[in-house]
Structure 1
Amino acid sequence: MEITRKNFNEQFDNITKDLKKSCFASFDAEFTAIIAGECFKHRLFDTNEERYDRIKNEVSKMIMTQVGLTFFQYDRDHDTYVATGYTFHLCPQVVGDIDQSFIFQASTLNFLCRHNFDFNKFTYEGLPYLSKAEEAKVRKMLKEGSNYLLRTLEMTDEKLLQQYCSEVAKWLATSKEGTLYLDIENPLLRYIVHNEVRARFPDVLTTDSLGNSHKVLIYRDKYVEGANSAPVAILEENLMHHLLGFSQIISLLASYHKPIIGHNIFLDVVLMHNQFIGPLPKKYSTFKKNINEIFPIIFDTKHISHEMSKKLTFDEVWKSNALQDLYEFFSEGKCKKLQHGVNLIRLSTPFDVNQSYHEAGWDSYCSGYCFIRLGHWAACENIGKFRPVGPTEKLAALAHYSNKVNIIRGAVPYMNLVGDDPPSHRPDLLHLKCLNERFNIGKVSSVLAAFGSIDIKPYGSRTALIAASSHYAVNNILKQFRDSRDYRISKYSVYRHSVAGRMAIWWGGALLTGSLVIYIIHKKVNNN
């Protein structure tokens, strides 16, 4: 189901119930920018901290435009999972002096157009949101009173405010009607009108109209029987409900502590922090801590599938770890490990599968589907036989992979949200020295292209460091260039090849030599 401004309020209780009944929730997002540019290049040299430091400023310019959530409920009587999927459309907002901004790349526009992205739903119907930091700022604005908000109104809204107040004044002076309705769609302006009318016309009573959240109901008689002026605290909470929008769903996910499932979600969790928690912290460790406090259990099916694929032969394994390939591998019954006792998984409301890849709701469903199948396989391996398996056993069987987020083409295989990241799983770096000319990265890259996936980093005018994806590639490079007249390639040593290492050796040698000379002189003096 698609969720926009139009149906968010009426569906909020259903979303809450579906989440509460679920055994886990799967997540996916679509962004306003495709990962491009120098800071987003994935290098085999990268530690997770280095990658985070490189992208954190650029990521702050991006937002999620679509969030998909699928809640999986287990029907024990029929050994079946029932999945309820939601696609939330999001759009930034202006509140007081908070003006949420983002970049929209032309390449992203082309990509979204190819996948039938609905820009009208984004701009006209997208749900607002506030990060925790922005929410605190708005609540502070409200405490400072409506005068502060009045100063931040745009000219158009300021004219509308004067128009509404003039309408009230005219009604009081010329009409004998006991009530007046003002239809005000903008929730912030509606809150300001309540306060301004009460300040300018102290004898009237204002409240929200029952059954229509856009209408302000004004009573001529402040003490009219059966009516009460809406308390300021209620007006504030009504306003915050509108301004928070999708952020309330994030709060629900955090409060229920359901396991969150995603596929290749490193960038998702970085954006989630920036958009719904607050500006990305300087320290990588603080970022991980903040994410884990909100979502204590996260599974990444990209990491799980990569690790579990090592248990299969070449003929048995899926075509690739891309979500579409992984989903089709399991949904088409190609996994030989899942021939018996497999749960039925059905959607409560079907998606249009032919047009749904790269649509956040559908992708979130695919992630959860793959998680169930991977969990079934892992649980049956632990048991020693293939039989029906419930969600508790699945989660226990995959607990080893909890809070480990896949890292693409980096020095380490995953980000650990609950502790130190793992040591590098890449082979040692190689050191290259050009013997006859200055270092040319294009030429060297061409020479080494035949050895598979490698990255090259300049290290001087004639030298460079080489990172390779496998020990096999490293051994082949060393063997091939053993007698080369153009390049000298050896395993990198910080003492032999770095300036600091060579300086340490030089100073150590100089210190040792100096000490020996002093010792000899001292000995001669004593003998004399």
Structure 2
Amino acid sequence: MFIDLDNFEQHKQTIMDQIKHCDFLGFDLELTGIKGDYQDTFEELPFERYLKARKVSMKYNIIQFGLSIFIKSQKGYQAYPYTFYLFPQDLDDFVGLQVGAIFFNSEHGMDWNRWINKGLGYINRAQYQKLQEDYNKDFQQLDQEELKTQFEKILDDVKAADKKTIQDLIDKLEKFNKSDDKQTTIETTNGYQRKVIYTYLEAYQKNMIGESLLKGEMKITKLTNAEKQAKDDERQKFKADRFQTKTGFYQIWECILNSKKYLVGHNCFADVMFCYSHFVQCPPISWEEFKEDIARNWPPIYDTKYIIQSAQPLEKIRGKLETSTSIENLAEFIKSNMNYIQIDVELEQNLYHTAGFDAYMTGFIFINLTKDFTQQELQNQKNKLNQFKSNYSINLNSAEDIKLNQKYVIYIKLPEEDRRNLQIQKNQRQQFQKSAFDNIVNTLKQQYDLSASRTIHYKYIYIEFNQEYNLKQIQNKLSKVPEFQECQLFNEQQYEKDRREFKEKEAKLERFDKRQ
């Protein structure tokens, strides 16, 4: 089912009740952009990939949030898939678009008009808390004596230029109150005077309401008790509706977090990043702080991409896979090769890359991949996420991530560039880098078993060995290479420290929007 501004209120309570009583939730996002400023590489450390994903998630937007709610039944499962269109409602917010993402989503039937015109608003955690505080203040009823005290304090602070005018207006209103007239008009000269009059009406004339007109005029109307109650009810309904509209999808998001029902995605690191940056806050610069927040405050997350690639009980199934592990391929493989569990579901359309359908298929894959897992085998997969084109998988449970490539690696840091004459320095630097790379690698090949070598980030030489060697011996060997005299030799821990200092300093200079 597609959910937008037109039908959100109609279905909201049903969806929230289903979330509270479900067994787990499949989720998937369609986004306005996904690529960073440079290509993903295997050499990137997890914190580097995180900082890049952090920047992307703040730059682009969510088009659709797919949520599929799975509830166990006697025959298997019942599923309730929803596709929420989301669009920022604050006029000061922004929308970022990437051309590739526009083409991709258009090819898969994205309704752009519905997204823009009917998309649900959403806010983050801090914005929600502030909005809720303001909303609660609006409904706090001060007693009459408190209102009078508040008004007298305002009156004491009135500027001399306004004091006589305000007193004349109050006298006129008191005279009007004693009359049989139903309505009158008064003239003010500025917004401050109107504010004082509104406060006066609340404190002393509960049977009157004011309405600002053009050119400083105010229309004052007497109300019966029934009319006053009707007006108060109308005002409260307006404020409540405005609160609901502004919070929008955040109500669903908060229900998901509070339910503690585990979230199942497919290759979902980017989805997690976008949820955090759009519904929680600007992600912290610290990778460890981000992971700690997720592990402490979110439900458990399962990534079916990580599960199919890493779970020990699925080793035989992995051996039969002849295609990529995309959602489409995995779903078709399960249907063709496994005695799969049936799911009772009503689908408006079977269209991959529609968020709700992908969320449903992700849940279908999860159910059938893990149906024979023990509790411990399932627990072993919790909060572990796949990373595309990386030597690491993500472990949200710990500061340490999962290294997939156990090769021994060293890094050689090239000298910093001299910025006094950039063009000359650029040419010299390129020549030096090529010479340093060739001579260092050729020297090491004479004695050591290398499996890979390349220049990364324009400032390091990455060298991978097939076995571990003594770093001191490597340094002694390289000391005979002239170019090495200007370089620094790092092991993996030293490289991470050096790289982290640079990248975190760079991240602190970046500015996004009011979510930060």
- TM above 0.5, yes or no, is yes
Give the structure-1-normalised TM-score. 0.64
Q: Does 1:13 align with 2:13?
A: yes
Cα RMSD for the two superposed structures: 4.1
Q: Does 1:424 align with 2:403?
A: yes
Shift of 1:458: 4.4
Q: 1:364 — aligned with what?
A: 359
Distance 1:23 1:141, change over 3 A: closer
Q: Does 1:43 align with 2:36?
A: no
Paired residues of 1:44 and 1:411 also in contact (CA < 8 A)? yes
Pairing of 1:185-334 with structure 2 (within 5 A) = 203=207, 221-224=223-226, 227-228=229-230, 229-230=232-233, 236-308=239-311, 311-312=315-316, 316-317=320-321, 319-330=323-334, 332-334=335-337
Shift of 1:363: 0.4
Q: Does 1:115 align with 2:115?
A: no
Shift of 1:270: 1.0
Structure 1 residue corresponding to 2:63, chosen from 62, 65, 70: 65
Q: Does 1:94 align with 2:90?
A: yes
Q: 2:34 — aligned with what?
A: 34
Q: 1:80 — aligned with what?
A: 76
5+ long unaligned stretches in structure 2 = 140-181, 183-197, 211-219, 414-430, 442-450, 479-483, 491-516
Structure 1 residue corresponding to 2:349, chosen from 338, 348, 352: 352
Q: Does 1:104 align with 2:97?
A: yes
Paired residues of 2:135 and 2:243 also in contact (CA < 8 A)? no
1:250 is paired with a residue of what secondary structure?
helix
Tell me the alpha carbon deviations over residues 361-394 of structure 1, each in whole angstroms, 9 at most, x when there is no partner.
Answer: 0000011000000111434xxxxxxxxxxxxxxx
Identity %: 23
Q: Does 1:135 align with 2:155?
A: no
Shift of 1:429: 2.7
Question: 1:271 & 1:454 partners in 2: Cα distance?
Answer: 34
5+ long unaligned stretches in structure 1 = 147-177, 179-194, 207-217, 380-394, 448-452, 468-473, 479-489, 503-528
Question: 1:314 & 1:74 partners in 2: Cα distance?
Answer: 27
> What is the aligned length?
385
Question: 1:344 & 1:371 partners in 2: Cα distance?
Answer: 13
Q: 2:382 — aligned with what?
A: 402
Tell me the alpha carbon deviations over residues 140-181 of structure 1, each in whole angstroms, 9 at most, x when there is no partner.
Answer: 6668989xxxxxxxxxxxxxxxxxxxxxxxxxxxxxxx9xxx
Give the structure-2-normalised TM-score. 0.65
Paired residues of 2:410 and 2:489 also in contact (CA < 8 A)? no
Paired residues of 1:428 and 1:492 also in contact (CA < 8 A)? no
Q: 1:183 — aligned with what?
A: none
Shift of 1:294: 3.2
Pairing of 1:158-173 with structure 2 (within 5 A) = none
2:100 is paired with a residue of what secondary structure?
helix
Question: 1:455 & 1:222 partners in 2: Cα distance?
Answer: 85
Shift of 1:319: 1.7
2:454 is paired with a residue of what secondary structure?
strand
1:275 is paired with a residue of what secondary structure?
helix
Tell me the alpha carbon deviations over residues 331-360 of structure 1, each in whole angstroms, 9 at most, x when there is no partner.
Answer: x2313xxx4xx432121x12422xx11110
1:415 is paired with a residue of what secondary structure?
strand
Question: 2:402 & 2:342 partners in 1: Cα distance?
Answer: 39
Q: Which AA in structure 1 matches 2:89? A: Q
Paired residues of 1:262 and 1:364 also in contact (CA < 8 A)? yes
Shift of 1:492: 9.4
Q: Which AA in structure 2 matches 1:367? A: T
Q: Which AA in structure 2 matches 1:343? A: I
Q: 2:512 — aligned with what?
A: none
Paired residues of 2:67 and 2:82 also in contact (CA < 8 A)? yes
Distance 1:52 1:458, change over 3 A: closer
Pairing of 1:497-516 with structure 2 (within 5 A) = 499-501=487-489
Q: Which AA in structure 2 matches 1:374? A: L
Shift of 1:109: 1.4
Shift of 1:138: 3.5
Paired residues of 1:130 and 1:244 also in contact (CA < 8 A)? yes
Tell me the alpha carbon deviations over residues 62-92 of structure 1, each in whole angstroms, 9 at most, x when there is no partner.
Answer: 121100000111113xx32111100000000
Q: Which AA in structure 2 matches 1:88? A: F
Paired residues of 1:32 and 1:62 also in contact (CA < 8 A)? yes
Structure 1 residue corresponding to 2:373, chosen from 374, 378, 384: 378
Question: 1:459 & 1:272 partners in 2: Cα distance?
Answer: 29
Paired residues of 2:53 and 2:273 also in contact (CA < 8 A)? no
Question: 2:365 & 2:209 partners in 1: Cα distance?
Answer: 56
Shift of 1:21: 2.5
Distance 1:440 1:287, change over 3 A: same
Question: 1:421 & 1:320 partners in 2: Cα distance?
Answer: 28
Shift of 1:290: 2.0
Question: 1:329 & 1:378 partners in 2: Cα distance?
Answer: 19
Structure 2 residue corresponding to 1:465, chosen from 462, 466, 471: 462
Question: 2:452 & 2:209 partners in 1: Cα distance?
Answer: 72
Question: 1:237 & 1:454 partners in 2: Cα distance?
Answer: 62
